[in-house]
A = this chain, B = another copy of it.
Amino acid sequence: MATIHDVAKLAEVSVATVSRVLNNRGYVGAETRKRVEEAIRELNYRPNKVARSLFKKKTTSIGCIIPDITNPFFPQLVKAVEQTLNEHGYTVLLFNSEDRLDRMDQILEVLQTEYVAGALIVSDQVKKKHLDKLDIPVVAIDKIISTNISSVTVNNYENAREAVRYLVGRGCRKIAHLRGPVGVYTSEERLRGYQDEMTQQGLPSYIANGHYQLSASIQATMELLQQHPDLDGIFAANDIMAVGAIKALARLGIRIPDEIKVIGFDGIEWGMTITPELTTMEQPIVELGNKSAELLLQIINGQVKGPKHYRLDAKLVVRDST
């Protein structure tokens, strides 16, 4: 690998001049610039990022922390994030935290000593105090960590109400909710949306916990129907649980959507592969990823002052389960 010195020697200038043309900063004579560019090409020179980082105390890597890479929602998100970041010359350092605080502490320390330029965090466990130690720009995705930490989230509450309203509009009156795990931001918001809408509609609530998981939701659905055989609608807080519900209903021999209608939340591809295909509130995952990455970049470049909070909307996608 050629260094800046090699280029300087070949172009018969000082390293300072090479650095100037590299960064397009300061005055450089047209003649000189040409000679330098020539030398760069000839040596196939690429500036060493590590050396640059040491001086700048900042790399072009962005830490991206997600709780569970095997949940299909996150890879899609990461893909969008990665795409935007790569376009701007940044690189993604990926961390799978399992949303465990001890892992998180480790990760945050790594981010610090690796001089990452910023971090994108999806976590229910991280609180403001954890982030206070580190002084790099952060954007929270999908959950709000604190009002003074920027975020891009989905309108879980309102969109959940919309899902319920849709079911009501399709004639459902006894609608159960398969809720996600306790303490998880999105899960609590969707639950709140369900409850408020049911109350406003003057309808009774039936709630079971499916923990955002397949097997748990199958179990939960079974129990729900045992206790309330006359349910005519299920609003699952995510698609995986909706798939579980449909699986349980199939086992019980209950016809969808005739006897009972099912709607999910997320919009993962998976929902389209089952029979009947799943109606769902589709999250704008790509937009969520792009927007978060762009916002972070803006903060890094100082193009934006205080914390910003964006809220995107999920969109109803009607398929065969309703």
Contacts and interface: CB of A to CB of B under 8 A. Distances in A.
Interface of A: 1, 46-51, 53-54, 59, 61, 69-70, 72, 74-76, 78-79, 82-83, 86, 91-96, 106, 109-110, 112-115, 214, 243-244, 247, 250, 269-270, 272-275
A109 B53 contact: no
Contact of A113 (B46, B96, B115, B273): B46
Contacts of A270: 270, 273
A250 B93 CA distance: 43
Contact of A79 (B96, B112, B273): B96
Contacts of A49: 113-115
A236 B22 CA distance: 52
A92 B53 CA distance: 18
Given A79-B96, A91-B93, A94-B94, A51 B48 contact: no
Contact of A70 (B61, B76, B96, B244): B76
Q: Which of A47, A53, A76 gathers the greatest number of chain B CB atoms within 10 Å?
A: A53
A23 to B, nearest CB: 15
Contacts of A83: 96
A46 B54 CA distance: 15
A214 B78 contact: no
A61 B92 CA distance: 11
Nearest to A92: B94
Given A75-B75, A76-B70, A269 B214 contact: yes
A82 B70 CA distance: 12
Nearest to A89: B110
Given A69-B79, A94-B94, 16 more contacts: A46-B113, A47-B113, A49-B115, A69-B75, A69-B76, A69-B82, A70-B269, A72-B75, A82-B94, A86-B106, A91-B110, A93-B93, A214-B269, A243-B273, A247-B275, A275-B275
13 contacts: A46-B113, A48-B54, A48-B115, A50-B115, A54-B54, A70-B72, A70-B75, A78-B96, A82-B95, A86-B106, A91-B93, A91-B95, A247-B275
A189 to B, nearest CB: 25
A50 B61 contact: no
Nearest to A103: B86
A112 to B, nearest CB: 7
Contacts of A70: 72, 75-76, 79, 269
Q: Which of A109, A244, A270, A273 gathers the greatest number of chain B CB atoms within 10 Å?
A: A273
A269 to B, nearest CB: 7
B112 A46 contact: yes
Contacts of A91: 93, 95, 110, 114
Contacts of A243: 273
A147 to B, nearest CB: 27
Given A51-B54, A82-B94, A46 B109 contact: yes
